[in-house]
């Protein structure tokens, strides 16, 4: 009886040690994407430490994770602004965005305004011009800018750590184009968004303002 009890105790101890070892291994091998991870030119999303240690070139910082999608892991914000570009060459043409302020469709909107034959878009052209290494930048929609506004305090330290421009709270420097036209006024206005206050403003599309591109993480 004593021998059997000792045998069972030994097996239990070995099982506990095995489980603990597995848990430690899983923790050590946790490569899941997190807010603050860095998108690099090789397409990899890594920790800040790994980015610096391995001499990788950073492109953007992850600011949102999409737990409801099996295809899109989330969004990353580019390191710097593009300054003073107009949404459209002039007024008078709808550029076929969804005009939906709750839709996460900046990628589709950007392609729509770029592809409108009757009207050019300095905004879309300037963002497309920074495409590198297969990373397709686009102008965030109103809803995606809201996500970025909510995450700015979390991502700013990482942006600064890799030489990027932090998202400003300065009321004179925090207004950015979105890729969302104003519903009912699509031919004349699109939404400008304040990353300082989280508010938006109807704005004539021929005005020049900053844009902060983002990219989808797959």
18 pLDDT above the threshold of 60: no
Q: Are 41 and 132 in contact (CB under 8 A)?
A: yes
Give residue limits of the domains in the chain: 1-29, 38-217
Q: What is the largest CA-CA distance in the chain?
A: 92
What is the per-residue pLDDT for 91? 97
What's the CA gap between 178 and 191, in Å, rounded?
6
What is the per-residue pLDDT for 67? 85
What's the CA gap between 111 and 139, in Å, rounded?
9
Look up residue 30 and give its two tokens: 């946790």
131 pLDDT above the threshold of 90: no
In 50-184, beta strands by DSSP E: 58-65, 74-78, 82-86, 175-181
What is the per-residue pLDDT for 5? 46
What is the per-residue pLDDT for 6? 46
Q: What is the pLDDT of residues 75-84, one digit of tens each?
A: 999 999 999 9
Average pLDDT over residues 111-132: 92
Cα-only R_g, the chain: 23
Burial of 177 (0-12, 13-18, 19+ CB in 10 A): buried
What is the per-residue pLDDT for 132? 65
Q: Are 24 and 36 in contact (CB under 8 A)?
A: no
Look up residue 169 and give its two tokens: 């709270």
Q: What is the pLDDT of residues 166-192, one digit of tens each?
A: 999 898 899 999 999 999 999 999 999
End-to-end C-alpha distance for the chain, whole angstroms = 58
What's the CA gap between 60 and 16, in Å, rounded?
42
Least confident range of 18-27, 86-95, 121-130 = 18-27
State what percent of residues in the chain have pLDDT above 70: 84
148 pLDDT above the threshold of 60: yes
Other CB atoms within 10 Å distance of the CB of residue 132: 11
Mean pLDDT for the chain overall: 88
Q: Looking at the DSSP assignment, which residues form a beta bridge with residue 40?
A: 58
Among the listed residues 66, 55, 59, the one whose alpha carbon sits nearest the alpha carbon of residue 38: 59
- pLDDT band per the 50, 70, 90 thresholds, residue 31: low
């Amino acid at each position: 009886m004593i021998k059997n009890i000792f045998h069972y105790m030994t097996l239990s101890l070995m099982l506990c040690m095995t489980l603990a070892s597995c848990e430690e291994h899983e923790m050590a091998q946790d490569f899941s994407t997190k807010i603050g991870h860095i998108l690099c030119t090789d397409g990899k999303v890594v920790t800040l430490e790994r980015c610096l240690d391995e001499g990788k070139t950073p492109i953007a910082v992850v600011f949102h994770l999409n737990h409801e999608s099996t295809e899109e892991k989330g969004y990353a914000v580019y390191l710097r602004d593009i300054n003073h570009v107009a949404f459209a060459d002039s007024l008078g043409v709808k550029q076929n965005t969804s005009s939906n302020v709750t839709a996460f469709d900046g990628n589709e909107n950007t392609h729509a305004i770029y592809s409108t034959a009757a009207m050019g878009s300095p905004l879309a052209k300037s963002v497309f011009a920074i495409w590198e290494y297969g990373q397709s930048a686009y102008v965030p929609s109103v809803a995606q800018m809201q996500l970025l506004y909510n995450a700015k305090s979390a991502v700013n330290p990482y942006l600064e750590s890799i030489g990027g421009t932090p998202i400003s709270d300065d009321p004179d420097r925090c207004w950015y184009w979105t890729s969302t036209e104003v519903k009912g006024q699509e031919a004349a206005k699109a939404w400008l968004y304040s990353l300082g206050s989280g508010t938006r403003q109807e704005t004539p599309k021929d005005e020049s303002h900053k844009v902060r591109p983002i990219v989808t993480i797959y």
